[in-house]
Chains A and B, each alone.
Chain A
């Protein structure tokens, strides 16, 4: 399947149906697994915002490797609108947060919903506008890239601090926001790796030399980000470890206390750091589209498992609901990806 002729109206109908399906899975089902939607939300906000953020950054620094993947990464911007709708679905569940019993100045339901909805909406609008201008080669795209990145950093920081960290209220880590921003960019590069694999034939036919260089660049970036991710993760872990304060350490203990929790924690460490680091250390690993694509998928899987580890000690999860929700979003993402010819404006660059 090379491309899909989708009219925007049909696509958005598909997107809304997926949201309806997710609402049905979350609220109409077994009643168990109140945290499934949060895992899905946090994971897809990371991917949808990260993919556009990667294009915004590479546009600003005039990176050439991204030229042949620009349309593909930007095609995922409608997922941000989907995340916005999913957050609306999440709002009835805010009573699950420990702070909802004693609301404060920052953590109270109206303000929590207001600021997050505003940022998600702003982020999706700016992403849509940036995608249009950037693909047309408009000179104002740079200004929008800067604006989008500012909103992206604020939005991902709030995802970290508001959606995830307050589950463990009053536990806190000041690195959490920056960590999520880096993870979102990491996810964007992993999506670029997956797209490189999906488009391998097309790109090799067009210009094998550029395709080879582009693949190597994506591999190098994934390698660099795996080290950066590990460094940030370790910095956060070490401070909690040597501080050894009961109110801080319980966060780690709950995530490593049982065999299954320890296995999950080991799994995302392997997927986000050990495997990409080991594979992309060699030059051969960065030459094969299948290897780059496969490792990118593992990185995305690692990021997903990490979100599960954040949520499951606090809220119950339901594997079936998680599966249905993510398959529906993957379906929408695929539709956006393969329908990019008709959904995105025609432009000079990246066609």
Chain B
């Protein structure tokens, strides 16, 4: 059976969490419900950062390469010489590539977040229990994967 501990104060909650960690509990058998994100929790439970950052990185990279490729393709397939400048001029190309880096990076991060949090699935939204502004530790008996 799961045991539920409810705290009103952040410090009490963190102190109890440190004790539990010392007693050998880990991410595998603790479920936490927090009113807001606490970076201390990740440090106590030694959580490594999730794969979300790779979504951001590769999204941004695709945006940059795609932006460059798209401009090069359009410029070479429909040459418009203006102001005597060379067709392939890096400075203005950088602007569009940079903006597409941000756009694709942020979209990929958002999609990655939905994918990792399994948000669109109703079952994945989490427990029906509502704890408001309290800090809750649920100690599970069995093993369950825990994602902060």
Binding site for B on A (CB under 8 A): 234, 237-238, 241-242, 244, 283
Contact = CB atoms under 8 A, between A and B. Distances in A.
A241 B83 contact: no
B49 A241 contact: no
B41 to A, nearest CB: 15
Contacts of B85: 242, 244
A238 B90 CA distance: 10
Contacts of B95: 238
A242 B85 CA distance: 9
Contacts of A241: 89, 91
A241 B83 CA distance: 11
A242 B94 contact: no
B92 interface: yes
Contacts of B49: 283
15 contacts: A234-B91, A234-B94, A237-B91, A238-B91, A238-B92, A238-B95, A241-B89, A241-B91, A242-B83, A242-B85, A242-B91, A242-B92, A244-B83, A244-B85, A283-B49
Contacts of B92: 238, 242
A contacts with B: majority SS: helix
A272 B89 CA distance: 23
A255 to B, nearest CB: 15
Interface of B: 49, 83, 85, 89, 91-92, 94-95
Contacts of A283: 49
Q: Which 10 A-B pairs have CB atoms at the shortest separation, nearest pair first?
A: A241-B91, A238-B91, A244-B83, A237-B91, A242-B92, A234-B94, A238-B95, A238-B92, A244-B85, A283-B49
A216 B94 CA distance: 30
A230 to B, nearest CB: 10
A283 B50 CA distance: 13
Contacts of B91: 234, 237-238, 241-242
A241 B92 CA distance: 9
- Among B49, B89, B91, B95, chain A packs the most CB atoms within 10 A around the CB of B91
Nearest to B90: A241
A158 B94 CA distance: 31
Contacts of A237: 91
A1 B4 CA distance: 54
A64 to B, nearest CB: 14
A214 B83 CA distance: 50
Nearest to A237: B91
A175 to B, nearest CB: 16
Nearest to B94: A234
Nearest to A241: B91
A234 B93 CA distance: 12
Given A241-B89, A241-B91, A283-B49, 10 more contacts: A234-B91, A234-B94, A237-B91, A238-B91, A238-B92, A238-B95, A242-B83, A242-B85, A244-B83, A244-B85
A238 B96 CA distance: 13
A237 B95 CA distance: 12
